[in-house]
Amino acid sequence: MSKLYLVPTPIGNLEDITFRALRILREVDLILAEDTRTSGKLLRHYDIDKKVFAHHQFNEHKTVENIVRQISGGQTLALITDAGTPGISDPGFLLVRSCILAGITVECLPGATAFVPALVNSGFPCDRFVFEGFLPHKKGRQTRLKELALQPYTFILYESPFRLVKTLEQLAEFLGAERRACVSRELTKIYEENRRAALPELAAWYLAHPPKGEIVIVVEGASGSSTEGNEPDTEEE
């Protein structure tokens, strides 16, 4: 039966892909990729010789109808992005919604995504959290920062290395200089870095040490407790 598969791909280390994901990529009729050049490296690494079609934020509104027709016509397709799970701050939502409305089966495989390891190794409570993704660049940015200042739970942002310092400075301005955060950079790669400190300290560090690579910012909630609900087990043996 034809369907659409959403297949997570490694966020850095090419070993972080499941056996099932590799099998699906070998079996489908066509692979939709955010960037065919980036995905080509992964596919070549695993000797997957499959036709790849570009599907990204700049063409998805034009191509989605044709893709739905292909699947409805009997083909099985897989959607992958440059890294991580499709639909998480990446193309995917529009196609998934269109397939569901057309009665097409959609199946999302479990797998890599950047915010989960960043959240868990931040040391902040992760029993409840808010994934914010990328902040608005201009319109609505200050409004969102004011809302996040009152957020009681740990929250997660994605950011580019070029805007990291500005974002950390703005977070310190709206949330306060005492609020702590963890900046995770180059997750799963050789130079992975997880730096934990108050927001102004982090801003100063990255101003002096311009970062590279993909970045996740995890910020403690307004409660200010980084241990509540996550107390270590102190039971003696």
Please choose, from the candidates 189, 191, 35, the residue with its C-alpha nearest in 3D space to the C-alpha of residue 43: 35
Cα 18 vs. chain centroid, distance in angstroms?
17
CA distance 107 to 129: 25
Closest CA to 216 of 143, 142, 134: 134
Q: Nearest 5°: phi and psi at 22? A: -65, -40
Average pLDDT in the chain: 93
Contact (Cβ atoms closer than 8 angstroms) between residue 212 and residue 161? yes
CA separation for the pair 84, 169 (Å, rounded): 28
The DSSP symbol for 233 reads P
Q: Tell me the pLDDT tens digit for each residue of 58-109.
A: 998 999 999 999 999 999 999 999 999 999 999 999 999 999 999 999 999 9
Q: Residue 224's pLDDT band (boundaries 50, 70, 90)? A: low
pTM here is: 0.88
Is 153 buried (19+), middle (13-18) or exposed (0-12) by CB count in 10 A? middle
pLDDT digits (tens, 9 = 90+) for 110-130: 999 999 999 999 999 999 999
CA 20 to chain centre: 20
d(CA 205, CA 199) in angstroms, rounded, equals 10
pLDDT score for 74? 97
Q: What percent of the chain has pLDDT over 70?
A: 94
User: What's the pLDDT score for residue 1?
Assistant: 76
Which residue ranges form the domains of the chain, and what is each CATH number? 3-108 (3.40.1010.10), 115-219 (3.30.950.10)
pLDDT digits (tens, 9 = 90+) for 195-220: 999 999 999 999 999 999 999 999 99
Cross-strand partners of 22: none
Q: Is 76 left (phi over 0), alpha (psi -120 to 50) or beta?
A: beta
Q: What's the N-to-C CA distance of the chain in angstroms?
A: 54
